[in-house]
Amino acid sequence: MIYVALLRGINVGGKAKVEMSRLKGVFEQLGYNNVVTYINSGNVIFESLSGSRQKIAKDIDDALESKFGFNIKVILRTHKELGNLVMQIPDTWVNNDVMKCDVMFLMEEIDNPAILKRIPHNPQAEDVIYLPGAVVWRIDRSKIRQGQVLKITGSDIHKRLTVRNPNTVRKILAIMQDAAGD
């Protein structure tokens, strides 16, 4: 099974520094195959030939804390799950100089459509949609001050998600597809 491990809160603002080569080594030491890291924000694509998702996640959590000395939250997605997610994100939703768009990957305990009731947003300025495993947010940069979603920063919800822009998510999927031979 091909997975991506999305690590929360590493290499942000000079804190929780993790070198990608060392990160890759942790996954290889755990016995995972075809390990590839993508950009410095903590995206690790790998293949596991056995084990439940919960066991894989726990093994990764334990190994990362042992290696780096601090807790790193990990969100796992399979190739199929990420593919289904990407197919549902409108193609026009990108992160560029005109538009800001983020994919907020949710930890299991907050992964349900009701999460939208807990995320402040302004329907006149921003689009917020729930997709299984994530909330996707889009706003024109010219309206960013009218937006409300960024108010979750530092909140309990914010601590239970990790954010990637859709350009990155689409690239991760392409790497996963290559690994799967699609």
- What is the architecture of the domain spanning 2-80? 2-Layer Sandwich (3.30)
- Position 13 confidence tier, pLDDT thresholds 50, 70, 90: low
The residue ranking higher by pLDDT, 100 or 52, is 100
**pLDDT tens for each residue of 154-173:** 899 999 999 999 999 999 99
**pLDDT tens for each residue of 24-59:** 999 999 999 999 999 987 899 999 988 789 899 999
Mean pLDDT of 67-93: 93
Q: Report whether 44 contacts 61 (CB < 8 A).
A: no
Mean pLDDT of 11-36: 84
pLDDT of residue 14: 58
Mean pLDDT of 61-89: 93
Q: What is the model's pTM?
A: 0.93
What is the DSSP annotation of 13-49?
Answer: TTBS---HHHHHHHHHHTT-EEEEEETTTTEEEEE-S
Q: Is 62 helix (H, G, I), strand (E, B) or coil?
A: helix
What is the DSSP annotation of 108-133?
Answer: GGG-SGGGGGGS---TTTEEEEEETT
pLDDT of residue 44: 96
Statement: residue 16 has pLDDT above 90: no
Lowest mean pLDDT among 16-30, 107-121, 145-159: 16-30
89-100 residues labelled b (16+ CB within 10 A) or e (exposed): beeebbbeeebb
Percent of the chain at pLDDT > 70 equals 96
